[in-house]
Amino acid sequence: MSLDLLIRKCKKNDTNAQSEIYKLFSSKLFAVCLKYSRNHVDAEDNLQDAFVTIFEKMSQYGYKGSFEGWLKRIAVNTVLQKYRRKGVFNIVNEDDIEDIVVEVEDYDIDINFLLQSIQELPYRYRLVFNLYALDEYSHKEIAKMLDITTGTTKSNLARARMILKDKIENYYAKLNSQSL
Amino acid sequence: MSDKKNIDRLFKEKLKDFEATPSNSVWENISIQLQSIEKGKKGIPMWWLVAGVAAALLLLFTISQVVLNNNTNPLQEIIVDEGTIKNSENTDLQDAINKKNTLSDSGGKNVSENLKSESSNFPSISSTTNTGSISAQNDNLTKHDNENRNVTVSNNTQNVNRNTYKINKNELVKSSSEKSKNDLTDNTNSNLYKDKVENNNIDKAIIDELLKTVNNTSETKETYKIASTNTNVDENITESEESNTITENYKLSLTEEIAANEDENIEDIPKEEFDRWSIASNIGPVYFNSFGNGSSIHPQFNNNSKTGDINMSYGISGSYAINKKLRVRAGINKVNLGYSTNNVIVYDNIGGSDSPGLLRNIKLNEAGENLSFISIDEFNFLQVPGILNNFIESSIDQKLGFIEIPLELEYRISNKKMGISVIGGFSALFLTDNEIYSFFNGVSTLLGEATNINNTSFSANFGLGFDFKMSDKFILNLEPIFKYQINTFNNTSGNFNPYFIGIYFGLSFKF
């Protein structure tokens, strides 16, 4: 069955089509949720909410742009909505830090470790890093999404990078000490 | 092999094609949520909840009435609705119609099965919507036999209380409710009858014959809701406005559903598979006490303070999911209960056989046969006969053990990782241990057993269930449940209404 047909059936709340759509896209969207959430359990909750929204709003999908992109946007929005509901977390020490370039070595690094490192970031750092570094939103867009200033998004991003850099360096250090 | 890389790029590249499979429970929960959203659009769940709670209360009330007071037969309390039912024949008639209807339902398609299962889940539907009346016209009846093909139903929405259902040859009776008329007058549709029979001068035989002809109309699938056991018709009369609304909503939602079923032929959609069966073990503390002042032992202790004991209950249960929201479950538990009657003076009453301290509901053993018990309140102004060798302010501790067989319904109200359910039902309790202790001569001594405890008794149960999915198969449960005991004790004094509260922890396995 073509994707278009599935989408059309989904718009009529066809249960089989919904199940097919889920099968096709759940692992991709779950990856998104895992990156944006702090742990596996939250990620599953977010995925669940995202799909419920997707099927509820299916009729609004206008075939503009890729379907997958639309799905991902809903997944990200689901996470952001929860963030907004929780209110803005005042992260201590929000002095503006200028955009810095952080470089790390690239050995054969474990993907699960990278994921875990993102998940362990403070809430807003994680969102900002995901949105900017992985999903290529601009600071301006992110600031609007999170209802903060671009100064804050920039400083959050810089801090997120620093934390991640530390984690990666520790990871390598551990790896080296083990191999010695 | 290693060069410095921008950290953003590192993450982006590595995680670019990252995919992960969520656990199966996610889709399960999504489909449940979607289902309830669908139903929500049709306005059902709100009153489902209300009806569910009402049904549970009605069930509890009925059980307690039947068990507590065998003389009162609730079936006799059928109240005549504003004189539309005038002879006692109606009761029989309604019974007959009910039976007939049940039979005629059995051949129904998915639609009528749906309707039926809804009504059986929530018995109150039939009792609260039972506000109309079927008028079988006598002169028509006598003329018509198996040729009857049209069953027409008119709904007078202005006065749902007095809906008249006319059964005659080919005439369609006009209905002020277009929607219901369209559905109900069409023989291929499922008809919903929810009313009483107005019958002043039709004898039973004619009605029976009529019903046969109705049943013979093979295309007609009917779900009759004529409750013969309607114990609260009189309430309905006073609340007729409200119940009319419910009736209307119900009718509308049903007709919508019927229409939907016809459009999309729901039968063709394969059912989503999920684990219907589960077994669970549970263990938890139970706290026993009673409402009101009263004593199961002797009237003199009515006002003594009572201390409930915390004991353990443990057991296993099995459950079956009727659908994704509703589970029925049964099990077997061992439960120990106990409470202490405080401020009791225990004294050695050598030779004093007719002392006021003898307890009418206790059979004392050797250790206790010379002891008398008296409430400290009475002691002040009572001449204690016999020689008061030794008296101690003590307590009478009653310890009971039961094998409990619960039968309960579990209705899920939340389906996230953490699920929440409402639980209601009843338990049969079989007495296994029955002991009376008192603290005497420095130790807690077994003094005998109570004589007024029924070997079989019941409890009405109501509680909440919280569950946490550990994996697709294993679930952790926490269930605080309140159990009101119904006829555990005979011959109690004062208002002795025992209950127990259990906080059950469990692990269940779905398959």
3-state secondary structure of A118: helix
Indicate which of B9, B10, B271 best probes the interface with A, i.e. most A CBs within 10 Å of its own CB.
B10
pLDDT (0 to 100) of residue A116: 92
Which phi and psi (to 5°) does residue B133 adopt?
Answer: -155, 145
Cβ-defined contact of B30 to A118 (cutoff 8 Å): no
Domain count, chain A: 2
pLDDT (0 to 100) of residue B480: 92
B2 within domain boundaries: no
CB atoms inside a 10 Å sphere around CB A115: 20
Cβ-defined contact of B21 to A30 (cutoff 8 Å): yes
Its domain, for residue B85, covers 46-265
Find the residue in B nearest to A30 (Cα).
B20
B27 within domain boundaries: no
Whole-prediction pTM: 0.40
Q: In this structure, are B239 and B287 located in the same domain?
A: no
Element (H, E) at B135: strand B132-135
Cα dihedral B385, B388, B393, B395 in deg (nearest 10): -60
Are the beta carbons of B345 and B388 closer than 8 angstroms? Answer: no
Per-residue pLDDT reduced to its tens digit, A86-129: 655 555 455 556 667 777 777 778 888 899 999 999 888 999 99
- Please identify which residue in the block is written with the tokens 């039947």: B66
- Please identify which residue in the block is written with the tokens 């779950």: A30
CATH of the domain at A128: 1.10.10.10
Mean pLDDT of B405-425: 87
Cβ-defined contact of B14 to A134 (cutoff 8 Å): no
Q: In this structure, are A72 and A115 located in the same domain?
A: no
Residues in CB range of B509: below 8 A, 6 or more apart: B278, B279, B280, B473, B474, B475
pLDDT (0 to 100) of residue B178: 44
Q: In this structure, are A75 and A7 located in the same domain?
A: yes
Are the beta carbons of B422 and B353 closer than 8 angstroms? Answer: no
**Cα–Cα distance measured from residue B349 to residue B181, given in angstroms and rounded to the nearest whole number:** 82
Phi-psi region of B448 (alpha: psi -120 to 50; beta: other; left: phi over 0): left
Q: In this structure, are A21 and A63 located in the same domain?
A: yes
Indicate which of B8, B13, B268 best probes the interface with A, i.e. most A CBs within 10 Å of its own CB.
B8
**Cα–Cα distance measured from residue B47 to residue B40, given in angstroms and rounded to the nearest whole number:** 10
- Residue B42's identity, in one-letter code, is K
B211 within domain boundaries: yes
Contacts of B20 in chain A (CB under 8 A): 27, 30-31, 34
Which phi and psi (to 5°) does residue B231 adopt?
Answer: -85, -10
Cβ-defined contact of A27 to B23 (cutoff 8 Å): no
Task: Name the DSSP class of B20.
Answer: -
| Vertex A139 angle, CA A133 and A142, to 5° | 85
**Cα–Cα distance measured from residue A50 to residue B330, given in angstroms and rounded to the nearest whole number:** 36
Strands B326-348 and B306-308, by their bridges, are antiparallel
Cβ-defined contact of B23 to A114 (cutoff 8 Å): no
- Binning pLDDT at 50, 70 and 90, where does residue B98 land? low
Q: In this structure, are B423 and B288 located in the same domain?
A: yes
- Binning pLDDT at 50, 70 and 90, where does residue B261 land? very low
Q: From B455, B440, B348, select the one nearest B396 (Cα to Cα).
A: B440
Half-sphere exposure (Cβ direction) of B440: Cα atoms closer than 13 Å? 23
Helix spans in B240-324 (H) = 240-264
Strands B195-198 and B132-135, by their bridges, are parallel
Mean pLDDT of B111-130: 42
Cβ-defined contact of A44 to B22 (cutoff 8 Å): yes
The tokens for B126 are: 């039939």
**Cα–Cα distance measured from residue A123 to residue A141, given in angstroms and rounded to the nearest whole number:** 18
Mean pLDDT of A123-141: 91
The tokens for A126 are: 């994680």
Task: Name the DSSP class of B99.
Answer: H
Mean pLDDT of B225-244: 43
- How far is A104 from chain B, CA to nearest CA, in Å? 5
pLDDT at B130 over 60: no
**Cα–Cα distance measured from residue A87 to residue B325, given in angstroms and rounded to the nearest whole number:** 33
A95 within domain boundaries: no
pLDDT at B86 over 60: no
State the count of interchain CB pairs (< 8 A) between A and B: 111
Per-residue pLDDT reduced to its tens digit, B440-468: 666 677 778 888 888 889 999 999 998 88
A91 within domain boundaries: no
ipTM: 0.88
Task: Give B307-346 as a DSSP string.
Answer: EE-EEEEEEEEEEEESSSSEEEEEEEEEEEEEEEEEEEEE
Q: In this structure, are B105 and B155 located in the same domain?
A: yes
Q: In this structure, are A127 and A175 located in the same domain?
A: yes
Q: Which residues of A touch B (CB under 8 A)?
A: 13, 15-16, 18-19, 22, 26-28, 30-31, 34-35, 41, 43-45, 47-48, 51-52, 55-56, 101-107, 109, 111, 114-115, 118, 129, 132-134, 161, 164-165, 168
The tokens for B331 are: 């099990």
The tokens for B301 are: 């202790």
pLDDT at B471 over 90: no
CATH of the domain at A71: 1.10.1740.10
Among B265, B299, B324, residue at a domain's last position: B265
Among B213, B231, B265, residue at a domain's last position: B265
Q: In this structure, are B58 and B156 located in the same domain?
A: yes
Are the beta carbons of B341 and B309 closer than 8 angstroms? Answer: no
- Binning pLDDT at 50, 70 and 90, where does residue B376 land? low
B328 within domain boundaries: yes
Are the beta carbons of B483 and B464 closer than 8 angstroms? Answer: no
CATH of the domain at B348: 2.40.160.20
- Binning pLDDT at 50, 70 and 90, where does residue B122 land? very low
Task: Name the DSSP class of A100.
Answer: -
Its domain, for residue A139, covers 111-179
Mean pLDDT of B170-178: 40
